[in-house]
Structure 1
Amino acid sequence: MLARLWLRLGAFLGKTLLWLVGLGLLGWLAATLWFAWHHSGPVPVEEQIPPGEAAMTQGIIQTAVRIVDQHREGTRYLRDAHAKAHGCVKAEVSVLPGLDPALRQGVFAEPGKTWQALMRLSNGNAYPQFDSIRDARGMAIKLLDVPGKQLLADQQARAEQDFVMFSHPNFFVSDVAEYAQNIGAQANGQKAMAFFPSFDPRSWQVRHLFIALATLAPAPASPTEATYFSVSPYKFGAANAKFRVAPDPQSCPPYSLPKQNQDLPNFLRSALNQQLSTDRIDACFVLQIQRQNPQKYMPIEDTSIEWKESDAPYESVAKIRIPAQDFDTPALNLACDNQSFNPWFGVEEHRPIGGINRLRKAVYEAVSDYRHGRNTP
């Protein structure tokens, strides 16, 4: 009797489990089909500015300034993101000789041209933390002595072109509205609320949570061994495009970095110092662009969407060389901390586009002014 009861209970539980698995698979299939339908081309090639974006931007500026206040070191005000630098180094960006005429745009218009540049390598977090902690890694490049009218009317004396990137191909927010909600939750110390803003499952951003977790990757052996992405799109002449900078060891002398002590808080700076200053070995990258194919799902207003290489391959436009140098001195580190990188420092041919870039225009300027004003003796 008792054995029969257990057998029936086991059969019931087995069938229930099979039903649950089946329903789960059907739900997964439905979600996959919905996502594929919702995220299919064609897409607009022009910016689509939603109502209320300007007001949300002002709120984000206030939150970003609050983060700067929260994370200052003593009397020193740091950036609201990418606060910890591994170093600022001199670099050379050389446009490829024989470049396809269609790729000769803006600062890449003259094949064989070499630009002198400044590069900042960093962690992504708003607070300086141990390099071994999972994080995004950043690269910002500033081309110097760039002729032509600057995008910002009050920055005409700069003569620069900046490229700002980090180590993941897509962002964990889609647009300005999501960014406002996300940064507000984090500034309030409610990180769980960043992706689950309410009890309503329709507001949950599970896909974006997975993107954020993927972004927080283990540290590379060195900043020179990571790949960096623009994430947001830019004009590339008449086209829309994203940028990528990838290691290019074949263009530099062979080098094997000695193993670093990753228990040290600043081992990525140590690795960079080891290669460039101690061993005197150059580091090399290739700069590539990915032009939008508007017939595919390659939106310019949603930075959570990775543009697939199968839809539009990356095309190399320049080589980057970081020559051996001494960069880790108090004076150079202070100059690095005082340096501003902004995708809006540049020329019309590479104008930033999309909501997140429109947000950057306002936030970068406001935070930079606030930080530098308080760091001035």
Structure 2
Amino acid sequence: MTDTRQQSVRNEATCGGVTGHEVTGGARGGTTVHQATSGASVHQATGGAYEGFEAYMGGSPEAERRRFEKLARELLRVHGPVPGGPDGSNAPWLPRAAPAKAALGVENARLRFRDDLPPELCVGYARPGADYPAVVRLSTASGAERHDASPYLRRMAVRVQAAPEEIHDLLATSFPVSHAADAREFVAFAKATAGAGGTVEKAFGLFVRLPLAVGWATADRMRRNVRIATRHTVGSLARETFWSRGAILWGPAGPVRYQLRPAPGGTPAPPPDRGDPDYLHRELAMRLSIGDIAFELCVQRYLDDRRTPVEDGSVEWRECDAPVVPVAVLTVPRQDLDSARARSAARRVERLGFNTWHTTEEFRPLGNLNRARKAAYEAAAAHRPGPRPHTAAPRRAALLCAPVRAAFGLVDRVDRWVPWHRLPAPLGLLNPAALGRTLGRLGLTGADVSEGPPLPAPAPASTPAPAGERSGTAAAR
């Protein structure tokens, strides 16, 4: 069950009511009819099995791609191109944080589907009793340097080797929804906080620029979802639940969202060890020294566009509407994580590029945010043969003018001798150090607050899509 401490803001707003996007418009040469009556939705589509469940920005894949390219240009004007995309290519890419801090990286896990897998969910590699080797990585959700006891998002990445030329990457985060409903909101959030070198500028971006870009209600929902998602302190990654956030196709069964939750049994999570910055790794090492760690792979099936939207990543699929169905068990076997062999395996896992599009057509990722990730992957692949761009970091525009920054800096220096709470009220409220501590407690000062689609520089129109994307032979993230 979803932890009641981690209820998304959009979910709070929809409980007991109905929200969603009424969608009209074609899907890749076919027609799509979304009929919402009595909680039911009827999809009629031609072409691929997924087309009846997706609605493209602008009404077509081509129009949506042009919008993605426009969003990428907007971000590049703010950030500038940065070499070395997450797949290791030389493609211009939006700035990303340093590699996330990993607590676990193993190559000897196994994913076994249940013997009683429902017939309607028996698709492709998902077969009753089927057992596959898997790679598992548990880490923070960004590369910001953080103590393990710091409340923040965590991430699980799983690579299932279904056949010699067939892999399936499953990516999940320790919060059920994204802060952004779609790529447009993601870009608006990134632009609002770009160039914020200090806590005051970050606050200005979140509380002034963001509302002007997306509206007050949407900005409030985004800020609150970020705050709720990043306030949970983890005692053990083996006892955390991880959600896919976005939907994927499950063959004829239609869209699903998946989650990886702790298997029944197991030792409860201990209190966080605030004296050990790497205690999450040590806690996992202790567990694996005495036994296996297991997670249940579960799915929630699509109902309709109101209760289980595909295009809006900020809406939680409530378990009371879409029950959780266990389909497989992911097992990390007992082992010594501190052995030379295990450390070598962990280094190899660190070099892997996990991508939701490393899968087959039967399990195609769905929704606007996933399609934005695909656009990023394709553009990065298209740019691989090109020359390496200049490596200097771009200069970012400041959000506040120089006199205002100087004034805040002066108040900040005063704080070295006079605590902010002893200053007159107007000066105390302007103190960036005090504001920074407050925003820090709310989880609003970290970089890369949630996983969003890194949009690349637009690829030339004549560049073909990369070969082998369905088989997952390329490494991209």
What secondary structure sits across from 1:180 in the alignment?
helix
Q: Which residue of 2 aligns with 1:262?
A: 274
Does residue 47 of the first structure (1) align with residue 54 of the second (2)?
yes
Q: Which residue of 2 aligns with 1:27?
A: none
In structure 2, do the counterparts of structure 1 residues 326 and 210 end up closer, same or farther at CA, with 3 Å as the change threshold? same
Does residue 271 of the first structure (1) align with residue 283 of the second (2)?
yes
- 8 A Cα contact 1:123 1:138, kept in partner: yes
Aligned-pair identity (%):
26
- Give the C-alpha shift of residue 324 in structure 1: 1.1
Cα RMSD, aligned residues only? 3.4
What secondary structure sits across from 2:112 in the alignment?
strand
Q: Which residue of 1 aligns with 2:121?
A: 103
What secondary structure sits across from 1:271 in the alignment?
helix
- Structure 1 residues not aligned, in runs of 5+: 1-30, 70-77, 148-156
Letter in 2 for 1:50: M
Once residues 324 and 365 of structure 1 are traced to their aligned partners in structure 2, the CA distance between those partners, rounded to angstroms, is 38
Q: 92, 102, 126: which is aligned to 2:143?
A: 126
In structure 2, do the counterparts of structure 1 residues 167 and 344 end up closer, same or farther at CA, with 3 Å as the change threshold? same
Letter in 1 for 2:123: Q
Q: 235, 240, 251: which is aligned to 2:255?
A: 240
In structure 2, do the counterparts of structure 1 residues 272 and 199 end up closer, same or farther at CA, with 3 Å as the change threshold? closer
- 8 A Cα contact 2:297 2:328, kept in partner: yes
Higher helix fraction: Structure 1 or Structure 2?
1
TM-score, length of structure 1 as denominator length: 0.74
Equivalence map 1:1-377=2 (5 Å): 36=17, 38-39=19-20, 42=36, 45-51=52-58, 52-56=66-70, 58-59=72-73, 62=76, 66=82, 80=97, 83-89=100-106, 90-108=108-126, 110-146=127-163, 157=165, 159-189=166-196, 190-192=201-203, 193-194=205-206, 196-197=208-209, 200=212, 203-204=215-216, 205-238=219-252, 239-250=254-265, 254-255=266-267, 261-276=273-288, 279-294=289-304, 296-328=306-338, 329=340, 330-363=343-376
What secondary structure sits across from 1:246 in the alignment?
strand
Once residues 291 and 272 of structure 1 are traced to their aligned partners in structure 2, the CA distance between those partners, rounded to angstroms, is 31
- 8 A Cα contact 1:125 1:135, kept in partner: no
Q: Which residue of 1 aligns with 2:464?
A: none
Q: Which residue of 2 aligns with 1:4?
A: none
- Structure 2 residues not aligned, in runs of 5+: 1-11, 23-35, 44-51, 59-65, 86-94, 390-477
Once residues 15 and 267 of structure 2 are traced to their aligned partners in structure 1, the CA distance between those partners, rounded to angstroms, is 48
- Give the C-alpha shift of residue 65 in structure 1: 6.4
In structure 2, do the counterparts of structure 1 residues 88 and 339 end up closer, same or farther at CA, with 3 Å as the change threshold? same
In structure 2, do the counterparts of structure 1 residues 65 and 350 end up closer, same or farther at CA, with 3 Å as the change threshold? farther
TM-score, length of structure 2 as denominator length: 0.59
In structure 2, do the counterparts of structure 1 residues 286 and 327 end up closer, same or farther at CA, with 3 Å as the change threshold? same
- 8 A Cα contact 2:235 2:270, kept in partner: no
- Give the C-alpha shift of residue 100 in structure 1: 1.3
Greater alpha carbon shift after TM alignment, 293-302 vs 36-45:
36-45
CA deviation map 1:84-105 (0-9, x unaligned): 1112123111100021101112
- 8 A Cα contact 1:257 1:271, kept in partner: no
In structure 2, do the counterparts of structure 1 residues 242 and 347 end up closer, same or farther at CA, with 3 Å as the change threshold? same
Letter in 1 for 2:157: A
CA deviation map 1:3-51 (0-9, x unaligned): xxxxxxxxxxxxxxxxxxxxxxxxxxxx969994544883675211113
In structure 2, do the counterparts of structure 1 residues 144 and 207 end up closer, same or farther at CA, with 3 Å as the change threshold? same
Q: Which residue of 1 aligns with 2:474?
A: none
Once residues 80 and 323 of structure 2 are traced to their aligned partners in structure 1, the CA distance between those partners, rounded to angstroms, is 35
What secondary structure sits across from 2:282 in the alignment?
helix
Q: Which residue of 2 aligns with 1:151?
A: none
